[in-house]
Amino acid sequence: MIMVYPAALLKKWNVSAKKQLGQNFLADPSVSQKIIERAGITPEDIVLEIGPGLGALTLPLSSISKKVYAVETDSRIIPILQDELTHRHIKNVSVMHQSILDTDISQIAKQAHRTIIVVGNLPYNISSQILVLLINSRRHISRAVLMFQKELSLRIQAKPGCRDYSRLSVMLQYCADIRTVTTVKASAFFPQPKIDSEVLGIEFKQKIPFQAASEPFLFNVIKAAFGQRRKTLKNSLAGSALPLDAHTAAKALTECRIDPARRAETLTVEEFVRLADTLIHYAAA
């Protein structure tokens, strides 16, 4: 297994990890190996890596995939990564200096002439935004293998009625099957974070069991419902950016057989779809 050693590399280049970028570099080669093995990547696959950092996953990914597009936002880190790639004569990695949030995933898939696999250790502060981007770009992505702080991983996998059940839970479970790939102890990183992480495999569904009439509207309804999650659904929807008052919200909820006094965290994915498909007619009126 090809591996880099963050502490030594950062010292050599006189660079320190930036806390505001959520930089905790993977330093345990056995973890990298486990992630790569369980990701199921083949020699024909094109990989988009989010936040390659010093190359803990980039280097082994390059040895088993056809091409890796490594998207890195920190200009201080890029020369270190490029040097590691050059030193090892790796030529199938394209390092892109930009934010993943500004990356045109459809263009990468178009160049590849196939759907791509997304891999990455996501920075906590923009993990939610990245997930929304991947959901909206999913027709260009076959699956994603992503590392999250344990707290966010629990939210993503939470079921209705759980405290962690959230907007992200519903959006992802609507369009993807989610599995745990592995748990990663905080001690596997440099510098060491305060909590453990978890790697999730996210397989986007070819066919969605409960297809919404309008996905953008469904996602807006989910956002509105969780916007004031301690309130009843009727009041959350009426107090949101959706063009609904309390009377209309209650009427629509009753029509789709959902008690207006329930709260967002109690609704299943199917109920959210039913609610959105009902509300869209009231919102358009």
Question: Do 50 and 119 contact (CB within 8 A), yes or no?
Answer: yes
Distance CA 284, CA 243 (A): 8
Q: Is residue 2's pLDDT more than 80?
A: no
Distance CA 45, CA 63 (A): 11
What per-residue confidence (pLDDT) applies to 112?
92
Q: Token match 């991983």: residue?
A: 153
Distance CA 35, CA 181 (A): 7
Q: CATH 1.10.8.100: which residues of the chain?
A: 215-284
What per-residue confidence (pLDDT) applies to 230?
87
pTM of full prediction above 0.95: no
Distances (CA, A) of 125 to 68, 98, 149, 164: 24, 16, 10, 17
Question: Do 272 and 170 contact (CB within 8 A), yes or no?
Answer: yes
Residue 284 vs residue 42, higher pLDDT = 42
Distance CA 285, CA 270 (A): 24
- Tens digits of residue pLDDT in 131-164: 999 999 999 999 999 999 999 999 999 999 999 9
Tokens in use for 253?
Answer: 């909820």
Q: CATH 3.40.50.150: which residues of the chain?
A: 6-204
Q: Per the CATH hierarchy, to which homologous superfamily does domain 6-204 belong?
A: Vaccinia Virus protein VP39 (3.40.50.150)
CATH of domain 215-284: 1.10.8.100
